[in-house]
Each structure stands twice: as structure tokens, then as C-alpha cells.
């Protein structure tokens, strides 16, 4: 998807971030582990040059479907909800990626622009990224201090790393 070394480094950080909650996986559900593995694979797939955009659209749809899978009948809400937020945000960013690419410049001689009312979605991925960061912070802060030991810190740290890894898609 991107061929810039700094972007690859950011995405590698995101892939590591997807795996961080699995290091503290003693209290997590198998569904959460599967979801974090899928997010790591997705981050690595973004670093592979030459993949068609359709693959990333499929990844986005799968990640959103996994968000529903993670929250279904799980006993570990403390880890499932942040995981579902990560999955949904990453999936939406992947679905928006083809539309968030810069559009070719319109000809100066044409005098008119196509595309309806001229509404741009260039800000939408950035909005998703900011909402993702705010939700992650809220979920961490709303967890009582005595419960933060049980993987909540690892989930928040992993989310922060994934947010950094997905930042190149939003800008």
C-alpha cells in the first residue's frame, strides 16, 4: 500500500502493537487472540508492495466482522471491548484508504469540477483516527485502577501503537 521506509516502520510498530495484548493473554478469550492476530497480519499485509486495493478492502471488511465476533458471548468484556474498538477503527480506515488517496488534480482549463457538491472525504480518516485515540483513552481511564493490572494496560499500549501504525493512512 505504501513504499516509504518511515511508513513501513510505523506499520511495523502497529503490527507489534497488535501483538502486545497477546503477551498478557492469560485472561483473554480465544476470540480476542484471533482478532489481535488478524490485526497483526493486516498490518504486515499493508507493507507488501503491489497488493491490489481490493485486498485491503477485504481486510477491512474482515476486521469489522471480527469486531462483531469478538463481542459475541465473551466473558472478558474488559479486553473484548477495546479489541472491538481497535478492529472497527482499523477496518474503517482500511475501507476508507482507497478513497482517501489524493485525487488527480483537475485541469485548470476545464473551469468546472466533477464530483457533486465538492465534498471531500480527506478529513474522514483523520477523524476516525482521532476518535479511535479518544475511545482508547476513555476505555483506559474508565477502568478502575485496581483492575488495570489485568491486561488493560497492555491493551491500551497495544492500541496506542496500532494508532501510530495506522496514522500514515489518515494523513
Could you report the per-residue pLDDT of 42-71, keeping only the tens digit for each?
Answer: 988 888 888 887 888 899 999 999 999 888
Distance CA 6, CA 77 (A): 35
pLDDT score, position 48: 84
Annotate 83-121 with b (16+ C-beta within 10 A) or e (fewer).
bbbbbbbbbbbbbbbeebeeeeeeeeeeeeeeeeeeeee
Q: What is the pLDDT of residues 104-137, one digit of tens each?
A: 444 444 443 333 333 446 788 899 999 999 999 9
Residue range(s) defining the domain that contains residue 14: 5-101+121-170
Most confident of 7-16, 27-36, 98-107, 133-142: 133-142
Distance CA 101, CA 121 (A): 10
Question: What are the CB-based long-range contacts (under 8 Å, 24+) for 74-77?
Answer: 74/29, 74/31, 74/32, 75/29, 76/27, 76/28, 76/29, 76/32
* Lowest-pLDDT choice from 30-39, 63-72, 145-154: 145-154
Question: Cα–chain-centroid distance for residue 59?
Answer: 11
- Residue 23 domain flag: yes
Give the count of domains, the chain: 1
| Residue 16 lies inside a defined structural domain of this protein | yes
Q: For residue 141, is it within any domain?
A: yes
**Quick check: is 106 in a domain?**
no
C-alpha cell at 110: 476545464
Q: 112 lies in a domain?
A: no
Please check whether residue 107 lies inside any domain of the structure.
no
**Residues 84/121, Cβ–Cβ less than 8 Å:** no
Percentage of the chain beyond pLDDT 90 is 25
Amino acid at each position: 500500500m505504501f513504499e516509504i521506509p518511515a511508513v513501513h516502520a510505523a506499520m511495523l510498530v502497529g503490527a507489534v502493537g497488535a501483538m502486545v495484548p497477546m503477551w498478557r493473554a492469560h485472561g483473554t478469550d480465544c476470540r480476542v487472540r484471533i482478532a489481535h492476530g488478524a490485526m497483526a497480519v493486516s498490518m504486515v499485509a499493508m507493507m507488501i508492495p503491489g497488493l491490489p486495493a481490493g485486498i485491503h478492502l477485504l481486510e477491512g471488511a474482515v476486521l469489522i466482522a471480527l469486531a462483531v465476533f469478538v463481542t459475541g458471548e465473551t466473558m472478558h468484556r474488559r479486553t473484548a471491548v477495546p479489541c472491538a474498538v481497535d478492529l472497527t477503527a482499523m477496518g474503517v480506515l482500511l475501507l476508507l484508504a482507497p478513497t482517501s488517496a489524493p485525487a488527480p488534480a483537475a485541469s485548470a482549463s476545464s473551469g468546472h469540477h466533477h464530483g457533486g457538491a465538492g465534498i471531500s472525504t480527506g478529513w474522514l480518516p483523520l477523524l476516525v483516527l482521532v476518535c479511535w485515540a479518544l475511545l482508547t483513552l476513555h476505555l483506559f481511564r474508565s477502568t478502575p485502577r485496581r483492575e488495570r493490572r489485568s491486561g488493560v494496560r497492555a491493551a491500551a499500549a497495544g492500541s496506542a501503537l496500532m494508532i501510530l501504525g495506522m496514522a500514515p493512512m489518515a494523513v
